[in-house]
Amino acid sequence: MSNQVYYEDVLEGQDIPSIKKEVTNVNILMYLSTVWLMDRIHFDYLFATQRRGLPNVVAPGPMGGDYYAQLLSEFAGEKGEVRKMSIQFRNFMVPPDVLMCGGKITRKYIEEGKGFIELDLWLKKDNGANCAPGKGLVRLPVREAKTS
């Protein structure tokens, strides 16, 4: 079964399917453990709030990049590829934020026979604020030229 999206199937201005991400202490700890990151602002509540003036422990910013990478990988599908992704950190992701991770196609073009899609990306909290604006570049497969 293929849900593959092709270059011809999408339009500039169109939103791509979004994903929901919940920021939890447990996910943060899983991430820190796997990458061996011991920065106390991510797991030590007293340190984060009293010593660093943060509202709570905060998720590592790169997790937002991982959410964008997943969003773009799912959009690209088996036959596409994620070429570029960028993220700017504006506000911390904080438990128990529930984020909508999504994007909008801003431009599509053919270059050397390949189909490219540029996107603006967002990680939106409940209040609609984009806590980490991003951009993506995905190559989508181009359908064979059809004879009419």
Partner 1 sequence: MSVSLLDELGWKKYIGSDTGSCTGEPVSARDIRRYALSIDDPNPVYFDDQAAKNGKYGGLTAPLAYVIWAVGVPGSEKGVKDLGEDGLASFIGVPEIPGVWTLGWVRGGDEFEFFKPVYVDDRVTVNGKIVEMKEKDGKSGKLVFVTSEFTYTNQNGELLARQRVTMIGTPRKES
The residue ranges that bind partner 1 (CB under 8 A) are: 21-22, 27, 30-31, 33-41, 44, 47, 51-52, 61-63, 65-70, 73-74, 78-79, 81-89
Residues comprising the chain, all counted:
148
Using the minimum distance from each CB to partner 1, give the nearer residue, 34 or 148: 34
Q: Residue 28: enclosing H or E segment and its boundaries?
A: helix 25-35
Rounded to the nearest whole angstrom, what is the least distance from the CB of residue 148 to partner 1 in the complex?
31
Minimum CB separation of residue 108 from partner 1 in Å reads 19
C-alpha dist (Å) from residue 50 to 40, 45, 78, 144, 146: 12, 8, 47, 60, 64
Closest separation in Å from C-beta 6 to partner 1: 15
Q: How far is CA 148 from CA 2, 145, in A?
A: 25, 9
- Written as one letter, the residue type at 123 is L
**Between 51 and 107, whose beta carbon lies closer to partner 1?**
51
> Among residues 102 and 146, whose Cβ is nearest to partner 1?
102
Q: Which is nearer to partner 1, 86 or 147 (CB)?
A: 86
CA distances from 19 to 26, 42, 140, 148 (A): 19, 23, 20, 38
In the complex, least distance from residue 14 CB atom to partner 1, rounded to whole angstroms: 23
